[in-house]
Amino acid sequence: MKLGKTLISEHEIQHRTSQLAHQIVNDFKDKEILIVGVLKGAFMFTADLVRRISKLDAKIEIDFIRARSYGSGKESSGNVKIDLDVSADLKNTCVLLVDDIVDSGNTLKQVCEYLHGKGAANVSTCVLLDKPSRRTTDFVPDYIGFEIPDYFVVGYGLDHNERGRCLPFITHIVD
Ligand code: IMP
Ligand code: MG
């Protein structure tokens, strides 16, 4: 696999994640937060974010949901399928949904509606990356790590056909 230049370094990701954790803890005050990571893409970002939030003594629980909108290509199918559900009871919970990237906005818009349908009192969203130029929905994340141009990126949880997912930084694949 040939990688392009690093777009966002490991250090930049860690620094920004720490800033986001402070902002989140400040906004949620003393409320208990149920953090729901969207698999697989958000596994690394979620792990780093919850560690930072925990260090700030916030009350959090962690859960995961798996949603797919992409087949094996680079375009969202627009039709989001949940193939692993959260295990927590969401009734009256404050959910912070964490994902790797928002592109069309289909995935997070539909997962938010789904979690509201399961009784969550409110659902906020945090994404590491945002590609605003690709949006086809009215979805707006509450917390954004970095805005990026319309590149298809890999690393730090993001993949292309499972390639690049475990890199500690964000880059793109040069074939
Ligand atoms: P959306 O539903 O179009 O907003 O797409 C969101 C999902 O598509 C993300 O959770 C990612 O899994 C995937 N995705 C979107 N853009 C990229 C990218 O540049 N690299 C890797 N995965 C991406
Ligand atoms: Mg994803």
**pLDDT tens column, 55-86:** 999 999 999 999 987 555 566 667 889 999 99
* Ligand 1 pocket mutation, candidates 158, 170, 171, 172, criterion most atoms within 8 A of CB: 158
User: Among the atoms of ligand 1, which is closest to the Cα of residue 139?
Assistant: 4
Q: 79-88: long-range contacts (C-beta < 8 A, 24 or more apart)?
A: 79/106, 80/106, 80/107, 80/110, 80/111, 82/111, 82/114, 84/39, 86/36, 86/115, 86/118, 87/63, 88/34, 88/61, 88/63
Span from the CA of 158 to the centroid of ligand 1 (angstroms): 8
Taking the model in full, what pTM does it have? Answer: 0.95
Burial class (CB in 10 A: 0-12, 13-18, 19+), 150: exposed
Pocket flag, ligand 1, residue 93 (CB < 6 Å): no
Give per-residue pLDDT as tens, 15-48.
999 999 999 999 999 899 999 999 999 999 999 9
Inform me whether the pLDDT recorded for 129 exceeds 90. yes
The CB of 130 under 6 Å from ligand 1? The reply is: no
Ligand 1 pocket, residue 126 CB under 6 Å:
no
159 vs 68, residue with greater confidence: 159
Domains of the chain: 10-151 (3.40.50.2020)
